[in-house]
Structure 1
Amino acid sequence: MSHYFFAGKIPSETKLAMKNNIIELKKQFPFRRWVHHEDLHITLAFLGAAPEDKLERACSLVGGTLVKADSFSLAINGLGIFGRKDSPRVFWASLSKSEELTNLRASVFTACEEAGFQLETRPFSPHVTLARNWEGEFPFNPGKLDEQPLNLGFMLEEVVLYRTNIESTPKYEPVQRFRLTALNQQ
């Protein structure tokens, strides 16, 4: 069964730059599953399996809330982990602190709740997942994260409803797109 989620779309040129970074990171960080560069995104609201009518309602509400939302700049600027320090579950790239991203996430999240979805209640921790499940011969060394300089700026110009296709690569298929207003068009 497919799962759905709303996410900030990372531009293609940034994904390609991250692909080169991922090639280098794989040499130093042995994780079991690496995210295909085309699947890189910023999750705003994970919906899970969803009936068509709830998805349509969520898209309508998200579209309504984003109609006046502006695009904004972000930067991928570091690395981090979720899970145990010696054997992390998730390896991710951090994002620059952004009030615009926090507000965008709140708008999308609230619209999805209004559509009837019960969403994750953990605090929003903006990141881009790179890999999952440490399988190194030795324990993970968190100190190595600081040795990897990352600084990729980009404009967040689109929110996308994605469908997960587990058997495909890349596995996230855009279902509906919501363009944010370009700052120079106001």
Structure 2
Amino acid sequence: MRTFIAIDVNDSVREVAQKSVDKLMKRGFRANWVSRENVHLTLFFLGEVSRKQIDEVAEHLCHRVRGFPSFSFTVEKLGYFAKANQPRVIWLGVKSNQNLQKLYEEMKAELLKHNFSFEERFSPHITIGRVKDFPNAWQALTEDITFEPIVVAVDRFSIYSSQLLPTGPIYKRVYECRFEGGLVKHE
């Protein structure tokens, strides 16, 4: 199954994501927009993985981060990844955070033991859209989309399966690992 590991966000972040998407759509951006209920911070995209591998890696990851201290991160701005001066991905930016980086590094070390590979650089962000078409002066049209910083509390991560459909992806939580409470399997 197509799988990723993520941190869920709160309703304030979901609301800002939706308001930002609404503004961008009105300004002529066309994209595969992330639905409100699917907004999250991806830690790792694992790709196509067998159920057995997911069961094993969930157990190992949860054991590795057991006792990891709860922390928070701040969502602070709208941004984008561009290529050849064309926007590709629009996101909500996550302020650099030592605890988030440490969690990523711990999980990365465990995933490497299980022969997973992924991008070397961790650039925390919350994707809200993958751009298909955009208006002229697109950069200027993103600059005035601002919001008050939002603090997101973190005491767990989740492993999701992702089913791609013409109407958009369907995410299903497969596992949830609480730093202090252990592993919860979802059916």
- Name the TM-score, length of structure 1 as normaliser: 0.85
**What CA distance in whole angstroms lies between the structure 1 residues aligned with 2:180 and 2:17?**
25
Q: Indicate if the aligned counterparts of 2:4 and 2:161 stay in contact, CA closer than 8 A.
A: yes
Structure 2 equivalent of residue 154 of structure 1: 152
Q: Deviations over 1:83-109 (max 9, x none)?
A: 226321111110112101111111122
Change (3 A) 1:11 1:157: farther
Structure 1 residue ranges without an equivalent (≥5):
none
**What CA distance in whole angstroms lies between the structure 2 residues aligned with 1:24 and 1:139?**
15
Structure 2 equivalent of residue 103 of structure 1: 102
Q: Indicate if the aligned counterparts of 2:162 and 2:169 stay in contact, CA closer than 8 A.
A: no
- One-letter identity of the residue aligned with 1:178: C
Q: CA deviation at 1:137?
A: 3.9
Q: Indicate if the aligned counterparts of 1:38 and 1:170 stay in contact, CA closer than 8 A.
A: no
Q: CA deviation at 1:170?
A: 5.8
Normalized per residue, which structure has more strand?
2
The 5-angstrom pairing of residues 146-185 of structure 1 reads 146-150=143-147, 151-167=149-165, 171-181=170-180
Q: Deviations over 1:98-131 (max 9, x none)?
A: 101111111122211212212223x110000011
What secondary structure is seen at the aligned counterpart in 2 of 1:109?
helix
Structure 2 equivalent of residue 8 of structure 1: 7
Change (3 A) 1:43 1:62: same
- One-letter identity of the residue aligned with 2:142: L
Structure 1 vs Structure 2: percent identity of aligned residues?
21
- Name the TM-score, length of structure 2 as normaliser: 0.84
**What CA distance in whole angstroms lies between the structure 1 residues aligned with 2:132 and 2:83?**
10
**What CA distance in whole angstroms lies between the structure 2 residues aligned with 1:4 and 1:164?**
6
Q: CA deviation at 1:24?
A: 2.7
Q: Deviations over 1:119-172 (max 9, x none)?
A: 223x1100000111241242522x443322122222123200010011265621
- One-letter identity of the residue aligned with 2:130: R
What secondary structure is seen at the aligned counterpart in 1 of 2:55?
helix
The 5-angstrom pairing of residues 77-96 of structure 1 reads 77-84=76-83, 86-96=85-95
Structure 2 equivalent of residue 140 of structure 1: 138
Structure 2 residue ranges without an equivalent (≥5):
182-187
